[in-house]
Chain A
Amino acid sequence: MNKIGLIIQREYLSRVRNKTFLLSTFMLPVVMILFIVGSTFFAIKSREKRKVAVVNDPGFFKNNMKSDSSSVIFDFNAAADSTNYQAKGYDGILYLPTSSNNYELRSMKQFGLDSKGYIERQLNKAIENNMLQQRGIDKSTLDSITKISDKSVDLNNIVKEKNGSVRQANAGLAYGVGFGSGILIYITMFIFGAMVMRGVAEEKMNRIAEVIVSSCKPFELMMGKIIGIAGVGLTQFLLWIILIFALLSSMQLFLPTETLQQIQEAQQSQQNIPGGANNAMAMKIMETKTALVEGVNWGVIIFFFLFYFLGGYLFYAALFAAIGSVINEDPQEAQSLMLPITMPIIFAFIILTSSLQNPNSPVAVWASIIPFTSPIVMMGRIPFGVPETVPYWQLGLSMISLIGGFLATTWFAGKVYRTGILMYGKKASWKEMAKWAFRK
C-alpha cells in the first residue's frame, strides 16, 4: 500500500473507532427526532388557556367576540371587579372603555403573546363589525362574509418547468431544506476543520511529525489527514441519513392503528381529523414525513450537499491544517490565527439567511459563486430549484471555482505546513506564512 493510503487509513480508523464518534453519530439523529416530536407535541399541548372577565361592555362586544376553548374564554356576565376576579376564578379582567381608546387588561400573571394577540384580534373584529353594522350592513350578510373570510387561503405556487412538467413549489419546504443543509455544512466545516487543526497541532506537539516526515513527504502527511477526516465526515453523514429515514419510517409503528386510519381517511377526504391533540400531533408528523419525502428532490439535494460539503471542507481544512502547523503548546495562539478563516464562514452563514428569503438577489448569486462562501450559500439556494432559481452557468461556475479554490488553499497550506510542522518556539503570523508559501 502506498504511504498516503496508509496515512488516510490510520487517520480514518483512529477516529471512527473512537467512542465519541459512535456516540455523536447515533445520538444526534435520536436527539433531532426527539426535538421535532417534542416541539410539535408542546406546540399543540401546551397552549395557555385563559379565562377573562369582560366588564363595561357597551353592548356590541358580547355578540362579536368569540371565545376559543383552547386559548381565551371571555365571560361577559361576570360580576367581577379588579379586587375579586382572581377569587372568582378568572385569569384576567378586561376593561372596555366607553369613549376613549383605553382598553385595559389586568392580570396577576403576564399574558403570553398568543393570548394577547387573540384578544386584540377579537376586539378589533368586534369594533370593525360594529362599524359595518352601523353603516347599514345587516347581521346575516356580515355573518356570511365572515364565514368565508375566516377560512384562510392557502396560496399554491405552480411552477412550470422548462421541460414542460408542472410542479407545485413549496417555498416553506425549500426554505427548510436550504436552511438545514446550509447550517449542516456550516457546522460540519467548523467541526471537521477544527479536527484537522487539532490533529496537526497534536502531531507537532507530540513530535511524531518529525518521525513521520522522515518516512514520507510532509504533503502526504497533511493530505492523508485531511482526506482521512473527510472520510470520517462522509461516514457520519451516511449513517445520519440512514438513521433519520429509518427512524421516521419506524415512527408509524409507534402510532396506534386507529389513529393511522383516521389520518389516511382525513388525507383522502381533505378534512380535518376529529379527536384531540394526540391525533393532531400524529397527523402533523405524518404530514411532515410525507412532505419531506415527496416534496423534495432528494437525489439532487444529497448529491450537491456532498459536493459542497467536500469542496468546502477541503477548501477550509487545508487552511486549518496550516494554522495547526504553526501553533505551539498554547491553544490560545490558534484563536487569533483562526479569525481570518472563521470570519468568511460566519459571513457566509449571514448571507445564507438573507438568500433564503431572496435566492436571486445579487449578493446571494455572487456569494454562491465565490468559494469562500459558496458551500453554505449555494446549498441554501439549490432547494429552490435547479435550473429555475439557480441556472446551470451559476452552478457550473460555483463548482469550478470551488475546485480551483481548494487546489489553491491546499497548495498554500502545503508550503506553510512543510516549514511550520518542524518549527518550534515561535508562532508565525499570516504574513510570515505567506512568505513561506511564496519563497522558492
Chain B
Amino acid sequence: MQHLLEIKNLKKQFSSQIAVDDISFAVNKGSIFGLLGPNGAGKTTLLRMITGIFYPDEGEIFLNGQTFNPVNDISQIGYMPEERGLYKKMKIGEQAIYLAQLKGLSKQVAKEKIREWFIKFEMQSWWDKKVEDLSKGMSQKLQFVTTVLHEPSLIILDEPFSGLDPVNANLIKDEIFRLSQKGHTIIFSTHRMEQVEEICDHIVLVNKGKKILDGTVSQIKQDFKESLFSISFEEAILPEHTAIHLFDVISNKGKQLIFKKNEDFTTNDILQFFINKGLHIHSFNEILPSLNEIFIRLVEATPKARQFESLTA
C-alpha cells in the first residue's frame, strides 16, 4: 500500500527542551492512524509540523511521495486542533464559508457543501446563529464539519470526541469510518485508548519527544501479550486440575480459570490435559493486553529509565 504521509527523522527543539526528537513513521493511504502519547509528549508539535505551522529543525516530511510544501499542500490537509477555536461573534454559516474559502474553495461550492453537511448533522437551523450561542458539543460538531469540508486527503483530528455525548460521538465516529472508506487518510491523536482500539488500524506511541512504539493494533497486542488465557468449564475446578507445571494460575473463579502458559508448552498441550481430566470445556481464549495497559506500561517505564541514566551519568 502506498504511503500518503511519510516523515523521516523529524526534530524540533524549543529553547528549553527537545519537543520532537528524531521521529519517523509512515501513514498508509486510506488508513486511520493513531498518534498516541501522554500530555507533553510532543504530539501537538509533531502535528503542527505536519500541518506546516512549524518548520522542523531537521528531518523531512513527504506528502504523496513529494516533499511537503507548506504553502501549497496545506489545502490538502484538514486540521482540527485539540483546543477548539471559532470566532464567537461570527454567524455560523458565514464562518464555515470563510474557513472553507481559506482552504481554497469557491464561495458557491463552499455554500453547497456546508448545506449538505448541515443537513447530515441536523444543523440546518444554525446558519444565522452565532458560535457563542452554541453548546460545547454543538460547536465541536461545527468544528468537525469545517475541518473536513474541503475534502482534504489528510484529515488530522486532535481529540475529536472530547466533550461529545455518546450519540454525537457515534455520529462523528461513523463519519470518520465513512471518510476513511472514501479514501481519506485520518490521523487521530488522543490518549483515550478504548477509542484507539476501536477505530485505528495503525498506531505510533510517542513519549518525551521520542517514538516508543509503532505498529498495527493487532500486531502490537501480539507483541505485548503475556501468554494469558481464560478457560471455563461445565464442572467445578478441583485442586488436582491446577497443580501442574503446564501453567501458573492467575485467578480461579470456581468454573473459570485464568492462567499464564508456561513457555515450553503449547495451548494444545493444555487443552489435552484438561480433556484427559474429563472436564468439559465451555470456552477457551487468549487474553490480549488492552492498549491502555500497554500504554501505561510503556509510559511509566520511560521516565524511570531516564532518571536512571541521569543518576549514572
Could you tell me if A206 and B53 are in contact, using CB atoms closer than 8 angstroms? no
Per the 8 Å Cβ criterion, residues 179-218 of A in contact with B are 203, 206-218
A121 at interface (Cβ–Cβ under 8 A)?
A: no
Question: With the chains together, A3 CA to B101 CA distance in Å?
Answer: 8
Given A211-B79, A422-B48, A206 and B102 touching (CB < 8 A)? Answer: no
Could you tell me if A6 and B102 are in contact, using CB atoms closer than 8 angstroms? yes
Contacts of A6 in B (CB 8 A): 98, 101-102
B18 at interface (Cβ–Cβ under 8 A)?
A: no
Question: With the chains together, A337 CA to B101 CA distance in Å?
Answer: 35
Question: With the chains together, A409 CA to B48 CA distance in Å?
Answer: 27
Residue-wise interface mask of B (124-159) relative to A, using a CB-CB cutoff of 8 A (1 in contact, 0 not): 000000000000000000010010000000000000
With beta carbons under 8 angstroms apart, the residue of A203, A210, A214 that contacts B83 is A210
Could you tell me if A212 and B53 are in contact, using CB atoms closer than 8 angstroms? no
**Nearest CB to that of B78 among chain A residues?**
A214
Could you tell me if B71 and A217 are in contact, using CB atoms closer than 8 angstroms? yes
Could you tell me if B81 and A211 are in contact, using CB atoms closer than 8 angstroms? yes
A84 at interface (Cβ–Cβ under 8 A)?
A: no
With most chain A CB atoms within 10 A of its CB, the pick from B48, B80, B85, B99 is B85
With most chain B CB atoms within 10 A of its CB, the pick from A3, A203, A206, A210 is A210
Contacts of A217 in B (CB 8 A): 71
**Nearest CB to that of B131 among chain A residues?**
A206
With beta carbons under 8 angstroms apart, the residue of B53, B90, B98 that contacts A210 is B53
Question: With the chains together, A210 CA to B80 CA distance in Å?
Answer: 9
Could you tell me if B53 and A213 are in contact, using CB atoms closer than 8 angstroms? yes
With beta carbons under 8 angstroms apart, the residue of B87, B89, B103, B143 that contacts A215 is B103
Per the 8 Å Cβ criterion, residues 45-68 of B in contact with A are 48, 51-53
Question: With the chains together, A215 CA to B98 CA distance in Å?
Answer: 11
A139 at interface (Cβ–Cβ under 8 A)?
A: no
Question: With the chains together, A217 CA to B101 CA distance in Å?
Answer: 15
**Nearest CB to that of A206 among chain B residues?**
B85
With beta carbons under 8 angstroms apart, the residue of B87, B89, B102, B146 that contacts A216 is B102
Question: With the chains together, A168 CA to B103 CA distance in Å?
Answer: 60
Given A210-B53, A422-B48, A422-B53, A215 and B102 touching (CB < 8 A)? Answer: yes
Contacts of B80 in A (CB 8 A): 211
Contacts of B102 in A (CB 8 A): 3, 6-7, 212, 215-216
Given A207-B83, A216-B102, A14 and B89 touching (CB < 8 A)? Answer: yes
**Nearest CB to that of B77 among chain A residues?**
A214
Contacts of A7 in B (CB 8 A): 102
**Nearest CB to that of B45 among chain A residues?**
A422
Contacts of A1 in B (CB 8 A): 101
Contacts of B81 in A (CB 8 A): 207, 210-211, 214
Write the nearest CB–CB distance from B18 to chain A, whole angstroms: 16
A88 at interface (Cβ–Cβ under 8 A)?
A: no
A10 at interface (Cβ–Cβ under 8 A)?
A: yes
Question: With the chains together, A83 CA to B29 CA distance in Å?
Answer: 106
Question: With the chains together, A10 CA to B90 CA distance in Å?
Answer: 10
Write the nearest CB–CB distance from A62 to chain B, whole angstroms: 74
Could you tell me if B87 and A206 are in contact, using CB atoms closer than 8 angstroms? yes
B282 at interface (Cβ–Cβ under 8 A)?
A: no
Contacts of A203 in B (CB 8 A): 85
Could you tell me if A207 and B84 are in contact, using CB atoms closer than 8 angstroms? yes
Per the 8 Å Cβ criterion, residues 80-124 of B in contact with A are 80-81, 83-90, 98-99, 101-103
Question: With the chains together, A215 CA to B74 CA distance in Å?
Answer: 6
Contacts of A3 in B (CB 8 A): 102
Could you tell me if A210 and B52 are in contact, using CB atoms closer than 8 angstroms? no
Could you tell me if A209 and B85 are in contact, using CB atoms closer than 8 angstroms? yes
Could you tell me if B98 and A214 are in contact, using CB atoms closer than 8 angstroms? no
Residue-wise interface mask of A (242-284) relative to B, using a CB-CB cutoff of 8 A (1 in contact, 0 not): 0000000000000000000000000000000000000000000
Per the 8 Å Cβ criterion, residues 8-47 of A in contact with B are 10, 14
With beta carbons under 8 angstroms apart, the residue of A10, A14, A207, A214 that contacts B53 is A214
Residue-wise interface mask of A (297-331) relative to B, using a CB-CB cutoff of 8 A (1 in contact, 0 not): 00000000000000000000000000000000000
Contacts of A214 in B (CB 8 A): 51-53, 74, 77, 79, 81
Write the nearest CB–CB distance from B48 to chain A, whole angstroms: 7
Contacts of A212 in B (CB 8 A): 99, 102
Contacts of A422 in B (CB 8 A): 48, 53
With most chain B CB atoms within 10 A of its CB, the pick from A3, A212, A215, A218 is A215
Apart from A211-B99, A214-B79, what 8 extra A-B contacts exist at CB < 8 Å? A6-B98, A208-B85, A210-B81, A211-B86, A211-B143, A215-B75, A216-B102, A218-B53
Which 3 interchain pairs have the tightest Cβ spacing?
A: A207-B85, A208-B85, A207-B83
Binding site for A on B (CB under 8 A): 48, 51-53, 71, 74-75, 77, 79-81, 83-90, 98-99, 101-103, 143, 146
Binding site for B on A (CB under 8 A): 1, 3, 6-7, 10, 14, 203, 206-218, 422
